Amino acid sequence: MQSDDARYLKRKYKGGSLDVHPTEKALVVQYEVEATILGEMGDPMLGERKECQKIIRLKSLNSNTDIASLARKVVEECRLISPSRLPEVEQLLFYLQNRKKSAEKKEKKQIKPRDLTPFEGMELDEEANINSIDDYIELLYEDIPEKIRGATLILHLARNPDNLEELLQNETALGALARVLREDWKQSVDLATTIIYVFFCFSSFSQFHGLITHYKIGVLCMSIIEHELKRYDLWQDELLKKKKADILSNLKKEYEKALKKYHGLLTKQEQLLRVALYLLLNLSEDTRTELKMRNKNIVHLLVKTLDRDSEELLVLVVSFLKKLSIFLENKNDMAEIDTVEKLVKLVPCEHEDLLNVTLRLLLNLSFDTGLRSKMVQADLLPKLTSLLGDEAQRQIAMCILYHISMDDRFKSMFAYTDCIPQVMKMLFDCGEERIDAELISFCINLAANKRNAQIMCEGNGLKMLMKRALKLKDPLMMKMIRNISQHDGPSKNLFIDYVGDLAAQIGLKEEEEFVIECLGTLSNLTIPDLDWELVLKEYNLVPYLKDHLKPGSAEDDLILEVVIMIGTVSMDDSCAVMLAKSGIIPALIELLNAQQEDDEFVCQIVYVFYQMVFHQATRDVIIKETQAPAYLIDLMHDKNAEIRKVCDNTLDIIAEYDVEWGKKIQSEKFRWHNSQWLEMVENRQMDEAEPFMYGDDGEPFLQNGDILERPDLFYSSDGIIPVDGAISPEFFTDFQNGDLLGPHGFPSSIPLGLMIHRKNDCNTNTHF
């Protein structure tokens, strides 16, 4: 309406409820607006009611604020609040003053780009009025300055959410804005920024996204951003040329003048980029729209924008990239360009929001092994370590460090930073409280490296870890200790003082997970000075070990650790005899029968037999009183190479000491070798056969008698052990230490789940 008709419109405001804002220091006033159109004589003709709300933000409110004075000021300045409600306002302000900050902290974790604020060029010397919208549309058909003024007036209206519904109904206004943007955006950055800002106001509400799509504003914004980034590159090239020219001519005026102009252009361009990118970020709420952006190379545009210095723009760009990074295709796009290198440059920075959102994006990318490698190459490791002291960023930095520590290539690098002393201090500072999962998981990974483990044990490190783990029965802390115990050297010898404490946990009815880690730690202690016989007797462990060999007596993980423990103590002659007399060997054979399809169980049980055949007493029990050699012969041709190796070496020792079994083993090796050879011969085409392979009578050139005269043709141990079998159990010490490969290239352990499960095609009931 024009000002002449203003007397025909009557508005009435009615105050409603009053409450506090759920997250901000603000009051929320609900009110009702009743608009009535009056006739010539002042009679009401048409009326409409609308419910609205007003937020009164109280930035100055703190613990020292005078609540009574602030309440009076709020009532005086807000006409929607009746003076009679002053006590209610005081009560709400008092609640806000004493409200806990937990809500604020939660809100802070959800980093979002700050709301767009008015920028240079938006100032007006008049107040925009929704009733004058037709006049503003007329300005859009004039020259550029008038177009900017008209768009700015409409923008002031659009910044009030109450006006958006009315603007939505005005197709002429929106169509004119879209047309001007499409036709004139190259002529004026201010004009383009202002019009995009209008559509950005609509993009803040999901129900208006269809409107923006209808006018194809998103596609236009992509083109504008791409064009502006190219202009930025040209500006930098020109600036560099002028700088070189001024250096050659010893003149600085031209360069300084160009630099000043460049900064002015840069400020306006960054305003345009920020509002355009924010609009696209809002539209990407729909994954289908986001896919269209991806097809138009949005990731490359965003990564290119990371070269800017504007922190507000960077917060927006990194937030956008973080949102995109949850999809594999977008992550792959980021991996193809130098995204990580540019992000690492932002760590650390003084802008807290920018640092936080950058770390969150790096965390998303760190799930990719290739990108983790790039992070390490870009020297991110020491930067993240330095952030462990920042409480606000510690958890995210820890998660990224955990991902890096998963890769064996990078574990050793932590030893050259102050990371390990910091995380050890964090562990001990927890006292009896529960340790964060990220922290203890990180420590478990670090302990898998020998040098890191040695640093952890420095001073009273191991003592403190053992004390905490045993007191709290913490299985994760004990898993960390177990990883430390697997490394040879000074750190392993420190465990002699704690053998009794660990053994004492096994007989008790502790949680199974904790007992598993204690058993695993003891199994790693292949220390020559350790008297295992004394330990077994002192803590009465033999009955426990035997009882837990029965299939189904416990979870498979615990039974497996018992088998590994038996393999470790069997290195001692007296322990092996003690175990043999207790009837453990038949129990192992029964377990082998039950778990014949699990490679890990089979390999560890065979290793126990290997250890026991070195001792005369146990060797006689295995050879003469059990069918263990028959099982070993069946497993000699297992699909798993590691099982074959252990079986071959064990059978070689048995054959050395027992003539009868030696013949059976020799015969089985020949049978297997000859069956493979015969199968090969049968499958060859006769016309391709080499003549020297057959004799004159057509029989195979090699006969059984010839084979048996050639012991060098038998399966050998590939040079691992001498022919006479004279080798000590220490050769396979590392088999029990948890490493995949021992120092001689022999598998020292097969992690659970690593081996391929197979169906045993051997006859375990073979009779000779």
Question: What are 16-41's pLDDT values in tens digits?
Answer: 788 888 778 888 888 777 766 766 66
Q: Which residue has the higher pLDDT, 77 or 492?
A: 492
Q: Which residue has the higher pLDDT, 8 or 204?
A: 204
Q: Specify the domain boundaries for CATH 1.25.10.10 within the chain.
A: 531-676
pLDDT band at 424, cuts 50/70/90?
very high
Is 80 exceeded by the pLDDT of residue 451? yes
pLDDT at position 11, please?
A: 66
Mean pLDDT value across residues 345-361: 94
pTM of the entire predicted model = 0.71
pLDDT at position 81, please?
A: 84
CATH architecture of 130-296: Alpha Horseshoe (1.25)
Number of H helices and E strands in the chain, helices first, is: 40, 3
Is 80 exceeded by the pLDDT of residue 742? no
With contact defined as beta carbons under 8 Å apart, do 588 and 567 qualify? Answer: no
Peptide bond into 348 cis (omega under 30): yes
CATH homologous superfamily, domain 531-676: Leucine-rich Repeat Variant (1.25.10.10)
- Which segment of 286-295, 403-412, 677-686 scores lowest on mean pLDDT? 677-686
pLDDT at position 638, please?
A: 85
Is 80 exceeded by the pLDDT of residue 686? no
With contact defined as beta carbons under 8 Å apart, do 297 and 334 qualify? Answer: no
pLDDT band at 731, cuts 50/70/90?
very low
Q: Which tens digit of pLDDT belongs to each residue from 51-101? A: 777 888 887 788 778 888 888 888 888 878 888 888 888 888 888 888 765
pLDDT band at 286, cuts 50/70/90?
very high
H/E segment holding residue 678: helix 659-683
Residue 764: partners with Cβ closer than 8 Å, 6 or more residues away: 593, 596, 630, 631, 634
Is 90 exceeded by the pLDDT of residue 713? no
Q: In whole angstroms, what separates CA 46 from the centre of its chain?
A: 61
Q: What is the DSSP string of 269-319?
A: HHHHHHHHHHHHHHHTTSHHHHHHHHHTTHHHHHHHHTT---HHHHHHHHH
Q: Which tens digit of pLDDT belongs to each residue from 136-155? A: 999 999 999 999 999 999 99
Is 70 exceeded by the pLDDT of residue 717? no
Closest CA to 362 of 414, 291, 306: 306
Residue 373: partners with Cβ closer than 8 Å, 6 or more residues away: 407, 409
Average pLDDT, the chain: 82
Mean pLDDT value across residues 144-170: 92
